[in-house]
Amino acid sequence: MTQHATQGEGTALTIPPSLVGVWKARAVEDATGDAEPVDVEIEFGADRIVRLTGPRDEHGEPYFTGRGEWSQDPATEGLFRFALRHPLPGPVPGEARAELDGAFLHGRGFLAKGHTYCHYEDGTVTGPSVITVEGADVSTPVVVLHRWTTSPERQNAVADTLLDAWRRTPAPASPRALTVFVSTNGDTVFGYEQWSSSAELRDFERLGRQAVEGDGAVEGAERSPALVAVPYRSRTVDAGPAGSSATPGCVVITTFGFGSAENARAWADAITVAETAQPEPTPGLLARHFLISGAAADGGVQVLNCSEWSGEDAHRAFLENPVVTPEWQRVEEFTSGITHGPGRRCVPRGTLPTD
């Protein structure tokens, strides 16, 4: 999906440091003073689950994997805490349990320190040993969706104002893709920014958002809070010879609220399975993309569902003539756990090159 974004109205968007994403890290667990560092991979999920992949052997397989939880207090920006458990490497069965406190380093990485205890199957516990973990962002893509509500008479003017602001103002960083969409019913303007990493986005929020957006006021439009999300899964439907993809005539942008990231992912998985299991592809569907927001204060998350269609009529026909299969019935079972956000059929008003 060749999507991108805008800027807008109201107070400038401020995004506190976020752990959500995958980090390459170097860990040193030192009980004796001469420990060697090991390279690990840590994924902090929007569901507040942290997953650890240990150092890898000569075949690329990790010696161990771990799991835990993480938290971040909004009142202490840049600080966080996480706990991990993983099997002990080597012949003696047991489990390592670590708790660490961390802080961001200039928005590009983090440093965390804590203690590890080793719990063995015979009931023996050793420790604590001091553990230090230094992480570097590995460029998990981030999307920012902005939304302005307006009138059919003002819609194009609002979209053009947003595009012009980006063109006029040199910013210290630019998204890798930026598009302004207008809804076909005339009441909405969407901005879709795609960033290569959360670190780049954080730098832009700190140094560039105000320069691009000014005071954020857009005449004749009401701005909704921005949605920051990370890609979860995408599916492209081949159209034409040699798998060539058709140009979408309509992009449908919709948000859905869930009580947990686990349910959000399960719903996205269910739709993907249902579409691939159909006897025939959905007529006019070209691609579908699911993105998941960071956890909200109440523990819930939002899913951004962006689908590409050959045209409005194809999407309308999909809604009016639902496919009846066991897989789609499974999707329907999620209905009671979903909060539907506003959805709109859209076309791009403008795309800015960011090279």
80-135: per-residue pLDDT in tens?
899 999 998 878 889 999 999 988 775 467 889 999 999 999 999 998 999 999 88
Residues 16-51 have pLDDT tens digits of 456 777 888 888 887 555 667 888 999 888 778 999
Residues 296-355 have pLDDT tens digits of 445 578 899 999 999 999 999 999 999 999 999 999 888 777 888 889 999 999 988 654
Quote the CA–CA distance of 59 and 38 in Å, as a whole number. Answer: 17
> Can you read off the two tokens belonging to residue 151?
């009138």
On the question of pLDDT at 198 being above 90, the answer is: no
**What pLDDT, on the 0 to 100 scale, is given for residue 15?**
37
**What pLDDT, on the 0 to 100 scale, is given for residue 138?**
62
Mean pLDDT in residue range 156-178: 81
Sign of the Cα torsion 305, 310, 313, 318 reads negative
**What pLDDT, on the 0 to 100 scale, is given for residue 241?**
40
